[in-house]
Chain A
Amino acid sequence: MGLKLTRRLACLAGLATMLASPLAAQAQDAPKVRFAYLKTLDLMPFFYGVQKGYFKEAGVDIELIAVPGGPAVGAAVASGSADIGYAAPTPIMIARDQGQPFKAFVSLEWERTPDRLWGDILATEKSGIKSLKDLKGKNLGVSVPGGLCELAAHDWLASVGLTTKDVNILNNPFPQMPAMMELGTVDAVCIVEPFATAALAGKSKPVLLKKGYLADVKEKYRVSILFASEKWIGGHAKEIAAIKKAFVRAATELKSNPTLVKEILAKEYRFPPALIDKLRTDFALDLDPKAEDYRIMVEKMTKYGMLKHPMKPEDFIAQAK
């Protein structure tokens, strides 16, 4: 009986090895893709998926290249130091508008009024600002030029009949914004997570003026993407499919396990514990770029002069093959 069991186990082990070896070989031979990224919350499935080996299993070996700022991502891809990059759509649309052959090949996080909004427009209590109209003549922090917050400033101000010329636009990094609000250097900011939560918990007692990067847009629009050069996208359909597959697998796991998300926020992101419980996280699962997800953004960027040439949303995205 014992011998039989041993034989059976040996057979099973052999079978498992036979089945596993093509997978192992596939993982080992997976083509390398160099990914320039910023440590943002919506990329958590990437870090988790790489750590768990999901990307290799799907057929792509992701080399994570951390860069310290948004502009460095575009530069890394343009220079060939990275194959793909993570960004908001706005700077990549501007880069395309200025001749860089970039396209979005994965759509990530999205917004829609009123149910899914990530960007916040906050004002400090001592600024006396109660509504968007009160921003006239005040200092408004919007992070980098060409970013989503520049578009947000244009759109929200336009919604109350103001323009960016009616306020003093300050370009400050997001991490410094909560402190600047407390010091009174800025009266209001366009801010993202986790800095929005940090600011809201801070001593400046901010007033939430509006939520969202675009003013009351009830259709879905994307606020983060993966992009690459047209040439790279053209020659790497398999890798793109593998990236989407592995990302969705990791994101699905994370969405169903809030405890795991909190663990990653503590261990990988190393956020202060007081912040972790307050942070909002969610992950996109529909990653195929669709023109309609970018139409409103292209229209508004053209309207506010952020794009100098006509652009079709269809030209900005790489359709899934």
Chain B
Amino acid sequence: MLSLLRGSLSILGFLALWEIVARSGLVPTDYFPAPLLVGETLVAEIGRGEIVSAFVATFLRALIGATAASLLAIAMALLAARYAIVRRAFDPIAEFLRPLPPAALVPLAIFFLGLGWKLYGFILVFACFWPVYLNAAQALAATPRVQVETARSFGYGDWAILAHVRLPAALPTIFIGVRMAASIGLIAAIAAEMIAGRDGLGFYLMDAGLSLRVPETFAGLVAAMVAGLLINALVMVLRALTIGWHVQLTRMEAGA
């Protein structure tokens, strides 16, 4: 309850600061609308429906992209953990490709993937894959030796140890990567839509900008923030369902 109050107060403080800056004349008022006007515009835009369909398109893209990338990255990390040759072969490629910014790939990717789901799929999976893979690979490699050897003494094979010991132990760290991937997925989806989209929040923002509808662009940004909060909340729910034991343990340790 107290944390909810604190959260509400900090958001109110942020909105008050926004209002002060908007009224101060520090920035051109025509291009920096006050929060109240943005709120009114957002309500009107929701009524028109355009921002709602843009929100849904972007949110689903980010969600599907982050989910697909996470599954792929975890599978790849498991293979790398199981077979040293895979890890040795893949890690240099990872180091080489990881720094590439997804937005920079969009203009090139359009040429071989066109506009549409293939482009989004490629950009989102590329963007979301690395944080999950790196966290998963690191966590799988860091399983305490004693846990692995104990399982082996009980007759577990390499695959069984991977599935029943190393993966569960790595899940808390993997979720850090998944949470990062979810945020990156939203950023990548909006960036791709801004460069090559036909719909979604990125396209909505560009379209509103081209029509000089400044309050609508801010309304689009608020919608993007809401999408970010929602996708993060979904990851946290999934985390609680999957590794609730770890969350409780961490809280108990913090309490102790």
Q: Name A's B-contacting residues (CB within 8 A).
A: 36, 38-39, 65-69, 71-72, 75-76, 78-82, 173-176, 178-179, 182-183, 194-195, 198, 202-203, 269-272, 275
Assess whether B210 is in contact with A38, with CB atoms less than 8 Å apart.
Answer: yes
Q: Which residues of A contact B193 (CB under 8 A)?
A: 68
Contact B114 A76 (CB under 8 A): yes
B253 to chain A, nearest CB (A): 48
Closest-CB distance, B133 to chain A (whole angstroms): 28
Q: Are A71 and B115 in contact (CB under 8 A)?
A: no
B155, CB-defined interface residue at 8 Å: no
A122 to chain B, nearest CB (A): 16
Q: Known contacts A66-B198, A68-B194; can you find 7 more A-B pairs with CB under 8 A?
A: A66-B203, A76-B110, A76-B114, A78-B111, A81-B110, A182-B31, A194-B211
Q: Are A175 and B115 in contact (CB under 8 A)?
A: no
Which secondary structure dominates chain A's binding surface? mixed
Distance A178 CA – B113 CA, assembled complex (angstroms): 35
**Shortest Cβ distance from B193 into A: residue:** A68
Contact with A along B10-44 (1 / 0, CB 8 A): 00000000000000000110110000000000000
Chain B residues lying within 8 Å of A198, measured Cβ to Cβ, are 212
> Which residues of A have CB within 8 Å of B154?
none
A178 to B32, CA, bound (A): 13
Bound Cα distance from A65 to B206, whole angstroms: 15
The minimal Cβ–Cβ distance linking B103 to chain A, given in whole angstroms, is 13
Contacts of B107 in A (CB 8 A): 71-72, 75
Of chain B, the residue at the smallest CB distance from A174 is B210
Tell me which residues across on chain A come within 8 A of B202, comparing CB atoms: 68
Asked whether A179 and B206 contact (CB < 8 A) given A72-B196, A79-B111, the answer is no
Decide if B195 is an interface residue (CB 8 Å cutoff): yes
B185-243 residues at the A interface, CB under 8 angstroms: 193-198, 202-203, 206-207, 209-213
For residue B212, which residues in chain A have a CB less than 8 angstroms away from its CB?
Answer: 175, 178, 194-195, 198, 271-272, 275
